[in-house]
């Protein structure tokens, strides 16, 4: 069963508002993350996720919104996290470029 839901900006904004235990994971590189990010996001670049997954191990049962710049790296990250046993994954389709909510700079 596929645990990954691909969602658009409006759905992501609603998810952020409604799910108080939501974990927001930014899988872009650190320099991209520093330029602007979703509020309260955790940054683990997709290239490092395999080695850094222990940092988010405690969140396996929580909903996780994964995003990158346009949605490609976050899709790769979601597939990896699903294989690692994460239960409720949301991929932000179109990434931060399509996100119309507030961005932290």
Catalytic residue among 23, 68, 81, 92: 68
Q: Residue 68 catalytic? A: yes
What is the residue-wise DSSP string for 24-90? EEE-S-HHHHHH-EETTEEE--GGGHHHHGGGGGGGTTSEEEEE-SSSHHHHHHHHHHHHTT--EEE
What is the set of active-site residues?
Answer: 68
């Amino acid at each position: 069963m596929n645990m990954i839901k691909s969602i658009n900006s409006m759905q992501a904004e609603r998810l952020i508002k409604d799910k108080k235990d939501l974990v927001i994971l930014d899988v872009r590189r650190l320099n991209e993350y520093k330029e602007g990010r979703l509020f309260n996001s955790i940054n683990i670049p997709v290239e490092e996720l395999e080695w850094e997954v222990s940092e988010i191990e405690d969140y396996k049962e929580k909903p996780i919104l994964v995003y990158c710049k346009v949605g490609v790296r976050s899709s790769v990250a979601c597939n990896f996290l699903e294989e690692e046993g994460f239960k409720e994954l949301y991929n932000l389709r179109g990434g931060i470029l399509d996100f119309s909510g507030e961005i932290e700079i």
